Amino acid sequence: MFDSDALFELEPPAADSVSFADLARRPLNELVAPDWAEALAPVEPQLREVLAFLDGEVAAGHEVLPSPSNMLRAFRQPLAGVRVLIVGQDPYPTPGHAVGLSFAVDGATRPIPRSLANMYKELQTDLGFPPRVHGDLSRWAEQGVLLLNRVLSVRAGAAGSHRNKGWEAVTAAAIRAVADRVSADSAGPAPLVVILWGKDAESVRPLLGSAAVISSAHPSPLSASRGFFGSRPFSRTNAMLQEQGNGTVDWELPPLP
């Protein structure tokens, strides 16, 4: 079973106490969990370049999402504890929504984004868990579910505005690191299930090696009815994890965050 006590304890600084320039100056092992610092070291120059770009965006008067304190939040979860990888696209462009975990929003956000609402509908159909009014997915992250966007930032109000600015190299390295892990007591890859929703997520498949993959249409209202609904990703993930000897994820979220 997954040991939640193994989570790397790195509390994010207050949103108003850190800037992107601050992040760009800090040692990598102060920004992410120690094993992530090692895995991302080869792309550290690209990471610092994109952080400098974000600082320039702010200097030019643009609001960048999520806040600096949440920008690298996905990497505070130890690499060694990742059991499930869910690949997103880029953060929600609505101010107050993006929190550094793909598909998640702040627990106080109402209403939740429609893609997330569709995920909850499928979760109810799949496992019988009632939809929640909040979008705090930290309970999943605490169990080793890596909620990773392909691009980790966005200009407020402009979806996709930070694509091709350097994040893709960073997240490609992260995805390879997850797929290439070798457990301490085995010569084979560590247990892992990867969930790919939509064409953007499918583009990372060449990075995944022999990892178990579940793929379908994206939960967006534009595509959910074309293969996402009825795909049962949550129960299928648990079945694959059990086959790999790594327990299951409790996908039920608390009624309130």
Catalytic positions? 90
**Secondary element (H or E) of residue 155:** strand 154-155
Tell me how long the chain is. 257
Nearest Cα to Cα of residue 104 among 135, 78, 133: 135
CB 149 within 8 A of CB 89: yes
- In angstroms, rounded to a whole number, what is the distance separating the alpha carbons of residues 90 and 101? 10
- By the 10 Å C-beta count (0-12 exposed, 13-18 middle, 19+ buried), 61 is classed as exposed
Specify which residues 213 forms β-bridges with: 194
The helix/strand/coil state of 33 is coil
CB 141 within 8 A of CB 147: yes
In degrees and rounded to multiples of 5, residue 125 shows phi and psi of -65, -40
Specify which residues 215 forms β-bridges with: 196
CA 143, 144, 147, 151 torsion-angle sign: positive
Nearest Cα to Cα of residue 141 among 207, 85, 216, 69: 85
Please compute, for residue 190, the number of CA atoms within 13 A of its CA located in the half-sphere on the CB side: 18
